[in-house]
Structures are given as structure tokens and as C-alpha cells.
Chain A
Amino acid sequence: MAIFLRNCISLLVIGSSLISGGWSQSKSTPKRNPTPVLVMKARATGTISLSLGNAPAGVPLKGGNSSQRSLDLGIASYQNGSSSLNVGVQKLPASFVVSTKFAMTVQDSTGQVGSATIFAGLAAPDVFIFRVDGFQMGTAPRLIQGQVKPGVTVQHLLEIEVPTSLTEKNSQLQNSILFQVIAN
């Protein structure tokens, strides 16, 4: 019983010390820098970022903010394809697929994140079918890549399927793909 009480007291003392940054320690103890626990937390929170960039065989992205870019596929049609550089068009019986590539890099300034998971989804529902690396996009985020190494740039394929039944009235394509990266 005596041993149990001593253990409990030790627990409380350490816990209090960590929370209060060491101020509750004995006056005889030399003042120290913030505890390692707090330092680690400050470094890790918000250290990863996502950078969207150009792929060698892709349409050049626009926009200054590396995590908020825009991609203009230009004019495309079923019969005439696309005149834009690095935009592919594949005909299907009742639709055609416009495609290009872009690049993404997960960056970690601390080097403490071993890998990350990337989710993607559409900002708004659409009559066009968006696919990233073959994964069809909806408004709910879905996993597109599970083990992304920070610092490694990976090319991704963007495909947009356009049903031929869409007419001039509703064939203006404008949407956003939202990416979310979570450290594993």
C-alpha cells in the first residue's frame, strides 16, 4: 500500500510539471527550457503542406499560391478533340474523356512525418465525371494515395468524362478539386 501511494504521488508531480512548464518544481531546481513534450508539439503541428505543380506532360498550372492553383483545359469537343498542349481526348461511344497530368508534393519542414495520406473530392456536384488517378471524384473526400513520402513529387492523372448528351447549355466546365493531406 505504501508503495502504491508513492507511485501515485510521483505521477501527480510529473503531470503537474509538464502542464505548468516546470513552474511547480522545487525552487531549488534550476530553471529549464520548456519541457521536451511541449517543444515536440510545437514543431509537429501544421508542419506539412501540399504543393500543386506542373507535370512534364501536363497543362501548366496557374496561380501564385502553390496550394491553390488553377488548371484550364481549354476548348475540347468530341469530334475535334483539343488544341491545347498536353491535353488528351479519348472518344467513347457516348462520351469523351479529356485528360492531363499535374504534380503534387507533400512538404514537411520538420522531417518528422514519414508518410501522408491524400484525400480528394469535388467542391461541388457536377454533371461531368472527374477522376484522379482513376478514382472517381464526388463531393465526399476519398483516398487517392495512402503512403506519400514528403518531398517526393508525384504525377497524377486528371480525367474528365464529358457525356455527349450534354449540350451547349450545360457544357461549361468549372469546378475545383479539394485535396486534403493527413500525416500518417
Chain B
Amino acid sequence: MKKPMILVFAAVMMSSFAAAQGGNTASGTLAVTANVTSSINLVFNTSTGGVTLGAPNTSAASLAFGTVQAFGGVLATGVTRTVGATNFTVSSPVDVIVTKANSTSANYTLKAQLAAADAANTWTVGGVTVTSGAAATVTTTGAYGTTNFPVAISVLFTSPAGAITNTINYTATSN
């Protein structure tokens, strides 16, 4: 007679335990906040038909024209030479890639400035003369994406032979 009683008692216990476990819950809340701001990025890349840049696809690339001269000689691949009455100009297309993120900006303003003064030679970016005195505006309506802004150096015939080294600082600002 005792055996059925024990079985029933165990069944009731298990039933109660299951019911208790079924309601055994907890909850938590993690409120998450962040402020996403707009941003733009500028990198240089080798342009089709231009000099192969050093460190392409970065914001600190290098452009080496190699050995250039007013007349004769062999120019490096991608270098174009134009000879004038009193000077000669070497140039190369350079791709400037400006990318925007989380922004409604339609276009950007690009400015360029020489890091060091160069009284002997004339530097241009996208046809705009660039000096060390102040940042020159290359464009006020730059389209986001890839744009070719040629870099050129005009060398006077009267300038002595020697190395030409400088740095052009670009600044893109979203409009």
C-alpha cells in the first residue's frame, strides 16, 4: 500500500518544481547611446597615365618626377614636359580621392599649400599656383570620389641644376 503513495508524492513534487522553474526568470536593460558624426577622408592614388605614386591610397603619398631637363633626355613614365620661352614644366596627373561618410555634404573645397617656400620654381595643383604663403583654393566644388588634379613644376631656364624637393599639403573641407 505504501508504494503508490510515494510515487504520487514524488510526482507532485516534480510538478511543483517544474512550475517554479518555469517562472524563474530575470531581466536586464542596457541603454546604449552614441553620437555618430560626419567625416571625410582624402587619399592620393596613381592616376592613369601618371607617375606611379609612392604609398598610394594613403594621405601621405610621394611623387617622384625623376631626372628632368628642358631639352632632350628621357623622362620617367607618366611625366609630361612642356617647354616654354623661358622655362619648362613637368607635370603628372594625380588622383585625389575624397570620401564622405554620414554626411549630406554635396561637395568639398580643396586647398593646397607648399610646406616650404620655393622662389625659383612655380608649383601648381590642378592648374592653380600653390605657394607656401597661404593655402590656395584648388576647387570649391570638388565632387566626392576620384578627381584628377595634375601636379606641375615650372623650372626657369636660369635656375641652376639640382634637386627640387618640397611637400604639398592638401586640405579638403566639406561644403
**A interface, CB within 8 angstroms of B:** 6-7, 10-11, 14-15, 18, 36-38, 40-41, 44-52, 61, 63, 67-80, 96, 98, 102, 104, 106, 113, 123, 130, 158, 160, 162, 164-169, 171-183
Bound CA–CA A165/B23 (angstroms): 44
Q: Tell me, yes or no, whether B30 is within 8 Å of chain A by CB.
A: yes
Cα(A175)–Cα(B160), bound, Å:
67
B27's partner among A44, A174, A180 (CB-CB below 8 A) is: A180
Shortest C-beta distance, B16 to chain A (Å), equals 5
- Whether B32 contacts A176 by the Cβ 8 Å rule is yes
Q: Mark B18-34, 1 if CB is under 8 A from A, else 0.
A: 01110111111111111
* Contact among B23, B29, B36, B38 for A179, CB-based, below 8 A: B29
List chain B residues, Cβ under 8 A from A172.
35-36
Whether B5 is near chain A, meaning CB under 8 Å from some CB there, is: yes
At the interface with chain A, which of B46-54, B83-91, B100-108? B100-108
Q: Known contacts A6-B1, A44-B17; is A182 also within 8 Å of B24 by CB? A: yes
Cα A15 to Cα B11 in complex, Å, equals 11
Q: Complex formed: what's the CA distance from A50 to B114 in Å?
A: 60
Contact B20 A44 (CB under 8 A): yes
Q: Write out, one digit per residue, whether chain B residues 150-162 have a CB within 8 A of any chain A CB (1) or not (0).
A: 0000000000000
**What are 26 pairs between A and B in contact, CB < 8 Å?**
A10-B4, A37-B12, A41-B17, A44-B20, A52-B30, A63-B31, A67-B27, A68-B31, A69-B29, A69-B30, A72-B33, A79-B101, A96-B101, A123-B29, A158-B30, A158-B32, A166-B36, A166-B102, A167-B38, A168-B104, A171-B37, A173-B32, A173-B34, A174-B32, A180-B25, A182-B24
Interface digits, B53-71 against A, CB 8 Å rule (1 contact, 0 not)? Answer: 0000000000000000000
Please state if B34 and A183 are interface contacts (CB–CB under 8 Å): no
**In the bound complex, how far is the Cα of B25 from the Cα of A49, in angstroms?**
7
B119 within 8 A of A: no
List A contacts of B37 (CB < 8 A).
75-77, 80, 168, 171
> How far in angstroms is the closest Cβ of chain B from A6?
7
Q: Is A71 a contact partner of B4 (Cβ separation < 8 A)?
A: no
- Asked if B128 is at the interface of the complex by the 8 Å CB criterion, the answer is no
B36 touches A79 (CB 8 A): no
Residue of B nearest to A177 (CB): B30
Shortest distance from the beta carbon of A8 to any chain B beta carbon, whole Å: 9
**Is the Cβ of B101 less than 8 Å from the Cβ of A176?**
no
> Which one of B27, B40, B101 has the highest number of Cβ atoms from chain A below 10 Å of its Cβ?
B101
Which 3 pairs of residues, A with B, have the shortest CB-CB distance? A78-B101, A79-B39, A44-B20
Q: How far is the CB of A19 from chain B (nearest CB, A)?
A: 10
B13 contacts chain A at the CB level, 8 A cutoff:
yes
Is the CB of B8 closer than 8 A to any CB of chain A?
yes
CB B4 to nearest CB in A, in angstroms, measures 5
Name the residue among B1, B19, B26, B31 with the largest chain A CB count within 10 angstroms. B26
